Amino acid sequence: MVSQRSNHEQGEKNDQEEFYCSSQPIYFHPGSRCHPCRSYHLMLILKFLSYIYNKLSFFRYQIVWVSKYRRKKLYGQVRRRFGEITRDLCRQKGIGLVEGHAMPDHVHLCLSIPPKYSISYVVGYLKGKSAIRLHQKFSNKMRGSKSFWARGYFVSTVGLDENQVRQYIRHQENEENRQREFDFQNK
């Protein structure tokens, strides 16, 4: 049922038609080509896709970095504290720590990073903040400067082989120990 209004009731909208879509009025000129519902729904779809891309899509990376001079510094309490620090730092930035393992001289991580952060920013943030916090906690055990990590890092994207990467990170210490035993037997 269409209600009839006088020109006085319509006010300045006398040459416009009123359409309701999702309980919001949309005004458009009758001579325009685009139907108001189509443009409104298209706008909603674009906003939704933008939301999905910016908020829900995460990129997964395998990241490896080593300690300064490959010294075996990550063991015992330092190793446990590094795990706590890394989880805390990732939580603060909204980064998903999918898998992680700290070896005595290097770190393997599989991270799920939102697109608003670059990989270099995330690695710099994790390396820098973890070095500062470890130095504050264990300054008596760590002699010298605050440079705990060596410069540089390795990054690889994780795609369909995510399960293999996670399994590699999880079982890497066992594999290294097995290789050391083999090297020792050959000498």
Residues that are catalytic: 168
Rounded Cα gap, residues 7 and 164, in angstroms: 71
Rounded Cα gap, residues 122 and 97, in angstroms: 12
Residue recorded with tokens 């991270």: 111
**What is the DSSP track for 54-75?**
III--EEEEEEEEBGGG-----
**18, 27, 74, 76, 174 from 180: Cα distances, Å:** 78, 75, 18, 20, 10
